């Protein structure tokens, strides 16, 4: 068997596993059938257990067509846009999923699934990828989808004038070639096994070739634009010629922002909206006490961390960094600050929901004695250090700093907590002060996350940590198409960060949203609030 055929078979198996997992989690398949089907793919029962994340819903439900939903995000404003390249917020991402499709779609297992591309395959070293498009897909303008549209939509991110927030994701594209009306080939500057996942990110939506005016949201998505007022609202109605059979289920969506969290919760409880993003953990009890609404918890990889800059004192000393890491009372932080809505972290940025998570690495224990040992080795017993934090630094950033301050005092480390103003925090504090709080959202692949924030030359390398071996590992990881080999590579990379890196990550924080019990069909995806904004194509209203 040729290398290309082996690779294609491996990718097909990965998609089969994702499909089975989706069936299991939607209750369309029981556990016994799930394990049996995996066995048919050559996967043992013990490994099958590690594939399951979350439990299936109690009863599979039949979607109902019709109805209008009003839903609210948080941040919104006059810069709200319908141009996919400029999407940068939940309010924009939600519109993106209403009006557009990508070549691929990232599912709850973080696997690329077919969207406008019905299949794809790489060459032997992942430096070329061929995508075959669905036939019979229509834009809202009436134009039929073809390969020129796909090529234009991806290449426009490379145009500086476009100002795409996803430009870095496709800078590895050297050339795009239209092979025929429904086939496009991308030649890359270097190997990238994650390329199909990258094409499923928020900004990579497909528009008609040559489009520069996005005022009508000219996509292929399940809904068609009826009204859009930036900073106010959008109104969408079902696109009757949508290509995905049977979808969407709703007739209309009214989508807008309510910046104030309390006002957003009040609107949900009053029935003015049926769905909201960004629920504060402190409001969970209030939702739980109220009839007809529910909290939706999505396991994810967002985190709030201590950043310790490795290029300046006092945190250029790894012994001090280790002392701070051993002072992380992870269970207490998760329980008190996040009300249990998360998972324990391990001082590296890849969470347990990521297929590349290094589960063989023990979670660092809360150990004041070890912390004191490392503090002594650092020669900093009785020393005074300062941690900078802010309301904008990440969910629970102030509370985390205050908890660490208490633990530090018990081992003779005088830690001062300085609350900096939100205005200017990211320009005057972040990446400037030796120790500061920071917050990160999950990225669609381990390589993207690690490259973005931890490689030696990364602009967002907030701790200024540099490790030649780590940089080499990421290059190897991008080039490998073998899932097991990739996991081993990324496991070593995570271990390097955990042992010598400049971040203390006590836990990963769940995405919390809230919605009416009448909202059905919601599918969690760990890349962002409201199922990474993929709800427009999947939800319906009951009753």
- Distance CA(478)–CA(58), nearest Å, equals 39
Q: What is the mean pLDDT of residues 227-237?
A: 97
Residue 419 CA: distances (Å) to CA of 387, 438, 463: 9, 13, 19
Q: What is the mean pLDDT of residues 103-112?
A: 95
pLDDT of residue 165: 85
Each residue of 132-143: pLDDT tens digit? 999 999 999 999
Question: Is residue 88 scored above 90 in pLDDT?
Answer: no
CA 419 to chain centre: 28
Q: Which of 348, 330, 361 is nearest to 498 (CA)?
A: 348
Give the pLDDT band of residue 19 (cuts 50, 70, 90): low
Q: Nearest 5°: phi and psi at 206?
A: -100, 130
Each residue of 466-477: pLDDT tens digit? 999 999 999 999
More confident residue, 60 or 419: 419
* Across 38-42, 166-170, 489-493, least confident range: 38-42
For residue 122, the cross-strand partners are: 129
Domain boundaries, the chain: 1-58, 299-509
Give the pLDDT band of residue 55 (cuts 50, 70, 90): very low
Helical ranges in 211-306 per DSSP H: 261-269, 284-289
Return the ∠ at Cα 8 (arms to 7 and 12), rounded to 5°: 120
Q: Mean of the per-residue pLDDT values for the chain?
A: 91
Question: Is residue 26 scored above 70 in pLDDT?
Answer: no
- Distance CA(311)–CA(315), nearest Å, equals 8
Q: Which of 306, 423, 325 is nearest to 371 (CA)?
A: 325
Each residue of 309-361: pLDDT tens digit? 999 999 999 999 999 999 999 999 999 999 999 999 999 999 999 999 999 99
pLDDT of residue 14: 52
The answer to whether residues 230 and 81 touch, using CB atoms and an 8 Å cutoff, is yes
Each residue of 511-538: pLDDT tens digit? 999 999 999 999 999 999 999 999 999 9
The answer to whether residues 519 and 268 touch, using CB atoms and an 8 Å cutoff, is no
* Across 3-7, 184-188, 290-294, 502-506, least confident range: 3-7
Architecture of the domain delimited by 299-509: Roll (3.10)
Upper half-sphere CA count for residue 290 (Cβ side, 13 Å):
20
pTM across the whole model: 0.83
Each residue of 452-504: pLDDT tens digit? 899 999 989 999 999 999 999 999 999 999 999 999 999 999 999 999 999 99
DSSP one-letter string for 149-208: HHHHHHHGGG-GGG--TTHHHHTTEEEEEEEETTEEEEEESS--TTHHHHTTSTT-B---
Tokens in use for 512? 């919390």
The rounded percent of the chain whose pLDDT value lies above 90 is 84
Task: Give rounded-to-5 percent helix, strand, coil for the chain.
Answer: 35, 20, 45
Give the pLDDT band of residue 423 (cuts 50, 70, 90): confident
Q: What is the mean pLDDT of residues 391-409?
A: 95
Question: Is residue 188 scored above 60 in pLDDT?
Answer: yes
């Amino acid at each position: 068997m040729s290398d290309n055929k082996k690779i294609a078979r491996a990718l097909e198996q990965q998609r089969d596993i994702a499909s089975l997992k989706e069936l299991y989690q939607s209750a369309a398949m029981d556990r016994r059938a799930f394990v049996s089907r995996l066995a048919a793919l050559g996967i043992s029962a013990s490994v099958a257990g590690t594939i399951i994340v979350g439990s299936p819903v109690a009863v599979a439900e039949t979607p109902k067509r019709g109805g209008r939903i009003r839903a609210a995000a948080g941040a919104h404003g006059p810069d709200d846009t319908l141009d996919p390249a400029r999407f940068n917020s939940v309010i924009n991402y939600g519109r993106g999923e209403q009006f557009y499709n990508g070549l691929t779609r990232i599912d709850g297992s973080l696997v690329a699934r077919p969207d406008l591309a019905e299949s794809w395959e790489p060459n032997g070293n992942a430096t070329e990828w061929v995508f075959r498009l669905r036939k019979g897909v229509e834009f809202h303008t009436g134009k039929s989808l073809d390969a020129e549209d796909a090529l234009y939509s991806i290449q426009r991110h490379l145009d500086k004038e476009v100002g795409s927030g996803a430009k870095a994701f496709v800078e590895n594209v050297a050339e795009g070639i239209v092979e025929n009306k429904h086939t496009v080939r991308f030649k890359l500057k270097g190997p990238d096994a994650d390329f199909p996942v990258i094409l499923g990110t928020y900004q990579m939506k497909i528009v008609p070739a040559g489009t520069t005016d996005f005022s009508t949201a000219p996509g292929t998505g399940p809904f068609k634009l009826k009204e859009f007022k930036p900073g106010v609202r959008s109104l969408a109605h079902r696109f009757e010629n949508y290509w995905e059979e049977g979808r969407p289920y709703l007739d209309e969506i009214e989508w807008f922002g309510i910046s104030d969290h309390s006002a957003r919760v009040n609107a949900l409880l009053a029935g003015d909206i049926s769905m909201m993003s960004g629920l504060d953990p402190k409001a969970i009890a209030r939702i739980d006490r109220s009839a007809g609404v529910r909290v939706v918890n999505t396991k994810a990889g967002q985190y709030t961390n201590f950043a310790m800059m490795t290029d300046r004192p006092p945190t250029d000393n790894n012994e001090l960094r280790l002392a701070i890491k051993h002072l992380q009372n992870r269970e207490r932080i998760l329980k008190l600050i996040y009300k249990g809505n998360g998972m324990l972290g391990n001082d590296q940025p890849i969470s347990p929901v990521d297929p590349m998570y290094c589960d063989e690495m023990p979670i660092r224990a809360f150990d004041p004695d070890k912390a004191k040992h490392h503090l002594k080795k650092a020669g900093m017993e009785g020393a005074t250090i300062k941690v900078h934090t802010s309301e904008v630094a990440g969910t629970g950033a102030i509370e985390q700093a205050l908890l660490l301050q208490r633990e530090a005092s018990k081992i003779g480390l005088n830690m001062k907590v300085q609350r900096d103003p939100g205005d200017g925090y990211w320009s005057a504090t972040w990446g400037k002060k030796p120790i500061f709080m920071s917050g990160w959202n999950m990225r669609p692949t381990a390589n993207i996350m690690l490259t973005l924030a931890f490689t030696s030359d990364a602009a967002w390398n907030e701790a200024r940590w540099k490790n030649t071996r780590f940089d080499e590992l990421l290059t190897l990881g991008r080039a490998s198409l073998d899932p097991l080999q990739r996991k081993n590579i990324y496991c070593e990379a995570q271990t390097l960060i955990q042992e010598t890196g400049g971040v203390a990550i006590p836990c990963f924080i769940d995405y919390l949203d809230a919605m009416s019990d009448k909202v059905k069909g919601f599918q969690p995806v760990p890349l962002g609030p409201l199922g990474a904004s993929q709800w427009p194509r999947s939800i319906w209203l009951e009753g």
